[in-house]
Structures are given as structure tokens and as C-alpha cells.
Amino acid sequence: MSKKPLVRKVKRGAEISHDTSYSVAGIPESDKLKKETTTISVSLATRNKIKSLRRIYKTKTVNETLDKMLDQYVESNLDQDLRQEFVKNLKVLNSVDELTLDD
């Protein structure tokens, strides 16, 4: 059994692009529409903390709480009070050793 070469077939005039900002190939560069993206800066430590909390507490309620807290953090880039509230909530959630939920 011979190995088939890895060849990507492309229509004539099209281009292969690994640039994720473009979704359409085969259109001249000037005509491509760039997707607008918003970059939100969240520190790596904060992201890792949220990921680890999600692994520890795999419950819908906690994940919804974490999502809400992350939204608060994003908004806190504009509002100092929300930033302090987020940090306080994260510290409280981090201090919980075991979470029990009544269904």
C-alpha cells in the first residue's frame, strides 16, 4: 500500500490562505472583507484561575457564575469599581473548598 501525497486540490484562480481573518479564497486581496475582531485583555493568571475553577466545579451554576464574573471583568476595563468587585468575587469563589448545590 503506497502512501498518497498530501495534495490539496484548488480550483484555478483560487488561493490557499491560512489567514483566519479572511473567509473567502479566490477573490483578489483588495476585494476581501476583513472580519472585525475585538481583543479583550484578560491576564493569563486570571484565565488560568477561571479554567481551573471550571475543572474543579463542573456544575452549571458555577459556570454561569464564572461567565458572569468574566463579563464583569471585561466591563471593568472601563469601570474601576467593577474590577474590584470581580477580584473580590474571584477570591471568594477561590476560597470555597467544596461546593454543594441543592437540586
CB 13 within 8 A of CB 21: no
Cell of 79: 469601570
The pLDDT of residue 50 is 72
Q: What is the DSSP letter of 4?
A: P
What pLDDT, on the 0 to 100 scale, is given for residue 70? Answer: 74
Cα gap 20→23, rounded to integer Å:
7
pLDDT of the residue at 94 = 65
Q: Tell me, what's the pLDDT at 76?
A: 59
pLDDT, mean of each 10-residue run, the chain (103 residues):
54 47 49 47 69 66 71 65 71 60 44
pLDDT of residue 18: 44
Q: Where are the domains of the chain?
A: 44-94
The pLDDT score that the predictor gives to residue 58 is 62
Q: Which of 16, 18, 34 is nearest to 26 (CA)?
A: 16
